[in-house]
Amino acid sequence: MKKLLAITFIVFGTVFSASASGNNVTVVAEKRANHLSEQMIRELRLNNYQANKVREINLDVAAQITEIEQKHAGNEQLIAEQCKEVLAVRDLEFEDILSTVQYNDYFGDRKMYSKVDREFVSSLDEQGSQNMATNQQADKSKIASNVN
């Protein structure tokens, strides 16, 4: 009976930890998409319909790219190839939504948008590292105060 209970707890722990890490990917993708979308909306002067579609597309693209980056961490060449394919699909979708002038502006600024996205993700990574360091410091302080 005790073994069954222990196995049940292990299974639930595994399931909940897996879903928690999946939520982190979703949160990162949402932040990433919102940041990029807001910049595009401002710079391309999109109307409400276009803004909603761009947000929707960018959320999908950000989720795909975040998944690719995590799946192939360390293999920059493979990440670049797969991301290029995802971004090409986004370009086609934007072509249907944006006016000719807006699309030309977007197309000319694609490298800048990619750079902004990479910088934003790296800032998220830095914030995450700082939060982890702060949490570790707090844990050490708690342990030290408990010892005294």
pLDDT digits (tens, 9 = 90+) for 46-81: 999 999 999 999 999 999 999 999 999 889 999 999
| Residue ranges covered by each domain of the chain | 2-36+47-117
pLDDT tens figures, 71-116: 998 899 999 999 999 999 999 999 999 999 999 999 999 999 999 9
Written in H, E and C, the secondary structure of the chain is CHHHHHHHHHHHHHHHHHHHHHHHHHHHHHHHHHHHHHHHHHHHCCCHHHHHHHHHHHHHHHHHHHHHHHHCCCCHHHHHHHHHHHHHHHHHHHHHHCCHHHHHHHHHCHHHHHHHHHHHHHHHHHHHHHHHHHHHHHHHHHHHHHHC
